[in-house]
Structure 1
Amino acid sequence: MGADWAARPGADEDTTVLRLAGRAVADYVHRPRLPAALSPRPYLHPVRTLGGLVVTELRPADHAHHLGVSMAVPDVAGVNFWGGRTYVRDQGPVALDNHGVQEHTGWLGPVPDGCAQELSWTREGRELLSERRAIRAHSLSDGAWALDFTSTLTNVSGADLSFGSPATNGRPGAGYGGFFWRAPKEGAADPRPEVFTATASGEDAVHGSTAEWLALAGQGWTLVFVGGDEETRRDPWFVRTGQYPGVGSSLAWERRLPLAAGAALSRRIVTVVADGRLDRPAAAALAALALEVAPS
C-alpha cells in the first residue's frame, strides 16, 4: 500500500506527516527552527511502528544535537553539520563557532509513496553542497513498514572538499557521519537494545563492520537497517547501545572522503520499522523483503 504525505492539521506548514493505510507513522520537519549549535537540518521525528510505538528520540539530554532520523556530517571541510562540539586533534571535543545549516530550498516533482526535495548545505551564506533527497515509505506486513532514505550530495563550493569525522581527526572508533538514527533510550530497568547482523552480535562486534543489514531490537520494536546500493553497503556501521541507542552509516570511518568540485556522491538506507523484538531469521527476511518492495 502506498504512502501519503500531508500537512499536519493545526501545525505550521514546515512539518508534514507520513501515513500508511491512514496511520501516521512519521513526522518530517523539513524546515526546523533550531539553535545554530545544533546544526539545523531536516529530521524525522516521531517515527512510529504500525502499532504506534515511537522509535526515534529528539534532542535527548545525553546528546541534544541528536535529531531523530537525519543526514548529519560532523566535518565538511571544517564545517560542522552534525551539531554539538567538534573533535580537534590533540585537544578533544571543543565548542567552536563552525556550525552549518541544511536549508530546504524546494520540493521536486511527485515521488511515488513519498517526497523529494532540494537542500542547500551552507555556512554563513556560503553554499558547500547541494542535496537531492528522496524519502519514501512502503508497507511490508501487518507489523512492519520500510522507510527508504536516499541522499545525493553535490559539491557546489567551487573547490575540492572532503568529509571527515572525529575518527579522522584523532578519536579512534568515532567514525560517525552520514545517515543517522537516534533510537529512544528506554527505562533503567530495561536491558539495552540488542544489535546484530547476519553473522555477528553485540556492539563491540558490529561497530565498524560492514554488513548488508543490521538490526537494533528494543522493547517491543525492531529496526533493520539495509544498505540500498553497493556503495552504501561498503560503508561501515556506526553503532551505540551502551551509552545510548543509535545507528548510522559512516562516510568517513578511518580516512577522509574526498569530493571533487562538481562531483556528487549518493547513499541509500532502507530501514524496516517493525513491531516486536525480531530474531535473526525474521530480521533477515524483512531486510530482503524491504529491498524487493522498495527497488531503487
Structure 2
Amino acid sequence: MNDTELVLSAAGRPVGRYVTRPELPARLSPRPYLHPVTTLASTPVTELSPADHAHHLGVGVAVPDVEGHNFWGGRTYVRDQGPTELDNHGAQRHASFQESGPGGFVEELRWTAAGTELMSERRTVLAVELTDSAWALDFTFALTNVTARALSLGSPATNGRSDAGYGGFFWRAPKEPDAPRVFTADTEGEDAVHARPAEWLALAGADWTLVLAGATGGTRRDPWFVRTAQYPGVGSSLAHRSRLTVAAGDTLVRRIVTVVADGTLDRAGAAALVRKAVST
C-alpha cells in the first residue's frame, strides 16, 4: 500500500484500483478515481477517458459548477452560449489516508480552484462481499465548505441546458456494441428513469449488472442522471433543477452503494442484492 494508488479486494480477489494522484491536463479537472473496477469474475465495469468523453474517469465525484469553477472536466455550459472551453477548472487533491487497506479506505481531499481551497472532503470507500458472484462498492463523500461565505453548486441544467443536471457521484461504464438495459423497481428505459429519484437503479450490460442505491441517511434521494444511448453512465444529480447552496462551515453528505454483479440480473435479483448491500 502507498498513497499514490491502492487496490481494493472483495472475496479475496482484486476488484478495483484507486488512483489518488493522476497526471491529467487541467481541462480534465484532475481528481482521484477508481479504475479499473471489475466483477468478481474480472469483467471490467468502468472506462477511463473514453474517446467520446475524455473527462469521464471511471468512478468518482465530479461537480461541473462550484461558484463557476468546473470540477467535472471538459467544456463548461454557459447560458445562451452553450458548451464553451473555459480556463476555469478546479482540482481535487489527495491530502492523506486516515485508514487504508484492501477492504477500503478513509481519505481526506482538498477541492481547490484558482489557488484557493473551496471545500475539504472526507471520502469513505468500502468493498463488501455479497455472494460468490456479487460485491458492493460503498462510497460516501462529505464535502465541507471551508470558505467564509456560502458556496453555490450548479449543473448545466441550472445554467440553461435541460435534462443535464449531472454532478456528484458518477460511474462511467464500458461502451459495448449494444446499449445497456436500465431499469428501476417499477420502470425501464433511459427516458423513464433519467432525472427521477428511485430507491435503486440497475444498469445491465452483456455480462454484468450494476445496481446503485442512494443510501444517505434519512429520506434524501437525489434524482438519477442516466445515459445509455449516447454512452453508458449513471450518476447522482446534486443540482437537478436549482442550485444547491452549502453555507460556510456546513457539510454536504451523500452515500451511494453500488452492487457489482456478474451476469444480468432481473428486478427481483437486483432488489435483493441491493437491500443486502445497503444493510451490510
What amino acid does structure 1 have at the position aligned with 2:46? T
1:253 has 2:240 as partner? yes
Within-5 A mapping of 1:53-92: 53-92=43-82
Q: 1:127: which partner in 2? A: 117
Which position in structure 2 is the counterpart of 1:3?
none
Picking from 224, 234, 239, the partner of 1:237 is 224
Shift in Å at residue 109 of structure 1? 3.9
The answer to whether the aligner puts 1:139 opposite 2:129 as a matched pair is: yes
Q: Give the CA deviation at 1:232.
A: 7.5
Q: What SS is found at the alignment partner of 1:286?
A: helix
Does the 8 A contact of 1:69 with 1:181 survive in 2? yes
SS of the aligned residue for 1:108 comes to strand
**Preserved contact between residue 72 and residue 179 of structure 1 (Cα < 8 Å):** yes
Q: Give me the CA root mean square deviation.
A: 1.4
Is 1:36 the counterpart of 2:31 in the alignment? no
What is the match of residue 10 of structure 1? none
The answer to whether the 8 Å contact 1:152/1:265 transfers is yes
Instruction: Give 1:131 deviation, angstroms.
Output: 0.3
Deviation at 1:21, TM superposition (A): 3.1
Map 1:246-285 to 2 at 5 A. Answer: 246-285=233-272
CA contact (8 A) 2:190 2:226 kept: yes
Supply the distance in 1 between the matched residues of 2:11 and 2:265 (Cα, whole angstroms).
23
Provide, for residues 113-146 of structure 1, a one-character-per-residue CA deviation record: whole Å limited to 9, x for no partner.
3100100000132000000000001100000000
Deviations 1:54-101 (Å, cap 9, x if unpaired)?
A: 000000000000000010000000000000000000000000000000
Unaligned 5+ segments in structure 2 are none
SS in structure 2 opposite 1:72? strand
Q: What amino acid is the match of 1:72? A: A
Match of 1:131, SS?
strand
**2:98 aligned residue:** 108
Which residue in the other structure is 1:225 paired with? 212
Aligned partner of 2:20: which letter? Answer: H
Paired position in structure 1 for 2:157? 167
Structure 2 distance, partners of 1:43, 1:289, is: 25
- 3-state SS of 2:156 partner: coil
Residue 151 of structure 1: how far off its partner (Å): 0.2
Structure 1, unaligned stretches of length 5 or more? 1-5, 8-12
Q: CA deviation at 1:272?
A: 0.2
Q: Which residue of 1 aligns with 2:15?
A: 25
CA distance in structure 1 between the partners assigned to 2:230 and 2:112 by the alignment: 31
Distance 1:248 1:110 in 2: 25
Given that residues 66 and 152 in structure 2 are in contact (C-alpha distance below 8 angstroms), is that contact kept between their aligned partners in structure 1?
yes
Aligned mates of 1:257, 1:271 — CA distance in 2: 24
Could you tell me how far apart the structure 2 residues matched to 1:15 and 1:63 are? Answer: 23
Secondary structure of the 2:35 match is strand
TM-score, length of structure 2 as denominator length: 0.97
The letter of the residue matching 1:34 is L
User: Contact 1:37 / 1:99 at 8 angstroms: preserved in 2?
Assistant: yes
Q: 1:202 aligns with which of 189, 207, 213?
A: 189
Q: Is the CA contact (8 Å cut-off) linking 1:211 and 1:233 kept in structure 2? A: no
> Does the CA contact (< 8 Å) of 2:8 and 2:103 recur in 1?
no
- Give, in whole Å, the separation in 2 of the partners of 1:31 and 1:282: 37
Superposed displacement of residue 231, structure 1: 5.9
Q: How many residues align?
A: 280
